[in-house]
Structure 1
Amino acid sequence: MSNDVGAQSVAPRPQGRYVPAVLAGGTVRTAGMTPRREGELILTGRIGAEVGLDEARTAAAVAVGNALAAIRAILPEGTSFRPVEMIVYVASAPGFTDLSVVADGASDVIERELGVNALPARTAVGVHTLPGGAPLEIALTAVTI
């Protein structure tokens, strides 16, 4: 993939009965974003089994790119924002513990697009399975500035 692996210009289409993001006051919360391009998962499987670490980091970059696109799509044009919390759900094989390394793939995109001072607080959680067999899912919360 190119260096613009996380960059998305359009909010992803929901895969169910929900919206990609909600703006409430000055806070935007995204739905959980998986690594999809044009509605299709780019990768499936559990990290540490079917999915390698480098693939997982790339998937995290795509997922957070989708989250950033959803935020940008709901905000009025020209509105600046800062991510404040990111939760990364990692579908991981038993014994896989490099959750933070996977999440760093998403943090790298935020830093590249918005700067190091825009990095959010972050939680990485290992789970057994995610929708559609996605290897990870990212929920991002941002505030307008």
Structure 2
Amino acid sequence: MDVDTRLRELGIELPAPTAPAGNYLPAVRAGGLLHLSGTGPVRPDGSMVTGKVGDGGLGLEEAREAARLTGLQLLSTLKAELGELDRVRQVVKLFGMVNCAPGFNRTPAVIDGCSDLLVEVLGDRGRGARSAVGMAELPFDIAVEIEAVVLVD
């Protein structure tokens, strides 16, 4: 089954990719690898999910949803760069950063929101290596930032 059909079955409509927030490209291809710049959680209305996780502001489920929204942005960037998501051969690596309060150590559970989405949409091609770390601050106070390396045709 092609990825566009899978997205329709899941009721997922990809958002427009966000523009870079600085002097960088959203993606750079090096051979068969596409390196996606870090992106954050954009809601359907265009606002960003902001705040720290674990300080009474954002709970684990809200943070997981933020990571899922970030995954949608990654898929959107992939589609914009490749023309079609069926060209994705394998998610090689995700690097997930969580804007978290001191003592919050459930960053892997947060980034699962993105990983689960990628597997749901891409199947086993969506499961790759991963890091999930806590940060004291993220740009614009976003809750989550994730970058990816993807093997493509």
Whether TM-score is above 0.5 comes out as yes
2:17 to 11, 16, 19: 11
Residue aligning to 1:91:
99
Residue aligning to 1:60:
67
TM-score (norm 1): 0.87
Which SS does the other structure have where 1:101 is aligned? helix
Which SS does the other structure have where 2:87 is aligned? coil
Q: Kindly report the root-mean-square deviation, in angstroms, between the aligned alpha carbons of the 2 structures.
A: 2.0
Distance 1:26 1:39, change over 3 A: farther
Query: Structure 2: how far apart are the matches of 1:97 and 1:144?
Result: 33
Query: Which digits, 9 at most, give the CA deviation of each residue in 1:122-145, with x for residues without a partner?
Result: 100111000000011000110014
Counterpart code for 2:35: R
Name stretches of at least 5 consecutive residues in structure 2 with no aligned partner.
1-9
Name stretches of at least 5 consecutive residues in structure 1 with no aligned partner.
none
Query: Which digits, 9 at most, give the CA deviation of each residue in 1:7-56, with x for residues without a partner?
Result: 52532221222221112211101110110247944321110011111110
The structure richer in helix per residue is 2
Residue aligning to 1:80:
88
Which SS does the other structure have where 1:13 is aligned? coil
Query: Structure 2: how far apart are the matches of 1:94 and 1:54?
Result: 18
Report how many aligned residue pairs link the two structures.
142
Query: Structure 1: how far apart are the matches of 2:42 and 2:28?
Result: 20
TM-score (norm 2): 0.83
